[in-house]
């Protein structure tokens, strides 16, 4: 259960996996939700680094393929954790069909959507703090929001197909987590309700 209350105030029937593009705030939202509910929040990237004993963004002997295999193994193990918690995924992991199958079989997915300009600003902020944060950018710093589009476009269908889509706009992750908590409690009371999209606008 990590560092959180082992008696959560919200009981899940499956783990919740947070999806989103670079800068969408999956990790911050998961941590905020954990604080609010006692659910165990997992930063999958951090857990992968722990398993490897190093930051994999510096490269692995087997390259990107070896990293993806470790990510899949850690994801599978994490989705078996009890009680179920909330897992923040690396932005590009849902592009892998093996990851999508695991999520379909064992989790409920929540996509955090933000407009392109907001994502661009958040990506720049993260690159200021950690220049190697996003290896997919090839070490290049985007000079406009449109530089992100080739990376975002392949992900969009999987975000749109999530069990729940939160259109977070410019909302702080704590506000996004509060809305996610509300929606999860609704689902706990009415588990057969169809998924809906929340938009602050």
Tell me which of 6-20, 53-67, 93-107 is least confident. 53-67
pLDDT of 92 reads: 94
Q: Which residue has the tokens 């902020």?
A: 125
What share of the chain in percent tops pLDDT 90?
Answer: 71
- In order of 42, 48, 73, 98, 197, the CA distances from 51 in angstroms are 13, 5, 10, 20, 35
Is 3 a residue whose pLDDT tops 70?
no
Is 164 a residue whose pLDDT tops 90?
yes
Residue 99 pLDDT grade (very low, low, confident, very high; cuts 50, 70, 90): very high
Residue 55 pLDDT grade (very low, low, confident, very high; cuts 50, 70, 90): confident
Give the mean model confidence (pLDDT) for residues 85-100.
96
Residue 36 pLDDT grade (very low, low, confident, very high; cuts 50, 70, 90): very high
CB atoms near residue 136 (< 10 Å): 11
Integer Cα distance of 8 and 198 in angstroms: 24
pLDDT of 64 reads: 81
Give the mean model confidence (pLDDT) for residues 85-102.
96
Structural domains present in the chain: 16-198 (3.40.50.300)
Residue 28 pLDDT grade (very low, low, confident, very high; cuts 50, 70, 90): very high
């Amino acid at each position: 259960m990590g560092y959180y209350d082992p008696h959560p105030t919200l009981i899940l029937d499956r783990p919740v996996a947070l999806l989103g593009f670079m800068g969408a705030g999956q990790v911050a939202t998961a941590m905020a939700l954990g604080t609010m509910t006692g659910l165990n929040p997992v930063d999958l990237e951090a857990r992968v680094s722990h398993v490897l004993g190093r930051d994999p963004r510096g490269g692995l002997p087997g390259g990107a393929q070896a990293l993806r295999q470790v990510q899949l193994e850690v994801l599978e193990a994490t989705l078996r954790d009890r009680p179920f918690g909330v897992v923040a995924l690396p932005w590009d992991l849902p592009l892998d069909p093996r990851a999508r199958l695991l999520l379909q079989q064992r989790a409920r997915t929540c996509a955090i959507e933000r407009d392109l300009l907001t994502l661009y600003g958040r990506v720049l902020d993260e690159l200021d703090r950690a220049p190697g944060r996003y290896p997919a950018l090839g070490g290049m710093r985007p000079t406009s929001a449109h530089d992100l589009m080739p990376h975002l476009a392949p992900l969009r269908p999987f975000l749109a197909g999530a069990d729940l889509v939160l259109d977070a706009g410019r909302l702080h992750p704590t506000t996004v987590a509060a809305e996610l908590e509300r929606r999860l409690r609704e689902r706990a009371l009415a588990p057969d309700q169809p998924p809906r999209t929340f938009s602050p606008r």
